[in-house]
Amino acid sequence: MALVFIALGSNLNSPFLRVSQAITDLSAHRNLRLDNASGLYRSVAIGPDKQPDYCNAVVQVTTALNPESLLDILQDMECQQGRIRAKRWGPRTLDLDLLLYDDQCIESVRLTVPHERMHERAFVLLPLSELTPSNFRLKGQSIRQLLAKCSDRGMVEKIDGSPAII
């Protein structure tokens, strides 16, 4: 069984409901066990165009699926919620990113793990920090050290009342 971290994000058509529904869908999937989920965060959209704010979260799951099969499931869930991959960094009904898969490093045409830009994104690191121990390291640095370097740190806030653990 592999320990996996998945980032969730949405900024279209009721993003908070979409992220919450995606967490429910992940927990109901027969090949995944939802171990933990971060609270919900609001973040300013990154990219060239003005977009609505995002709702973000990270979940921790355990699975026997290989990384490519898990990616297929995540992309299918995105499609079920109306995701259209029309524009890089464009608005999204749902975005599910495979961040970490055990301690594996994967470099393929379809998948890069650890996620190639997660260490630069406060909207990933803040929710991830809720689920990982304080001695967790990514690229040899603590999450606190990585957050200090994030250009989007001031553009991410935890949503009051959102649960830290589901």
In this predicted structure, the answer to whether residue 166 has a pLDDT above a threshold of 70 is: no
What integer best gives the mean pLDDT of the chain?
Answer: 90
pLDDT of res. 88: 61
pLDDT of res. 161: 66
> Side chain identity at 127, as an amino acid letter?
P
> Side chain identity at 24, as an amino acid letter?
T
pLDDT of res. 16: 94
Q: Are 33 and 63 in contact (CB under 8 A)?
A: yes
For residue 37, give the 3-state DSSP assignment.
Answer: strand
Q: Which fold has domain 2-158?
A: Alpha-Beta Plaits (3.30.70)
pLDDT of res. 163: 53
**pLDDT tens, residue by residue, 97-121:** 999 999 999 999 999 999 888 999 9
pLDDT of res. 153: 80
Catalytic positions, written as ranges: 83, 92, 95, 97
User: How do strand 112-113 and strand 106-107 relate by DSSP bridges?
Assistant: antiparallel
Measured distance CA(153)–CA(2) in Å, rounded? 30
Q: Is the dihedral of CA 11, 156, 104, 134 positive or negative?
A: negative
In this predicted structure, the answer to whether residue 160 has a pLDDT above a threshold of 80 is: no
> Residue 165: which pLDDT band, with cuts at 50, 70 and 90?
very low
Query: What's the average model confidence in pLDDT over 130-149?
Result: 91
Q: Tell me the whole-structure pTM to 2 decimals.
A: 0.91
Measured distance CA(34)–CA(108) in Å, rounded? 26
> Residue 86: which pLDDT band, with cuts at 50, 70 and 90?
low
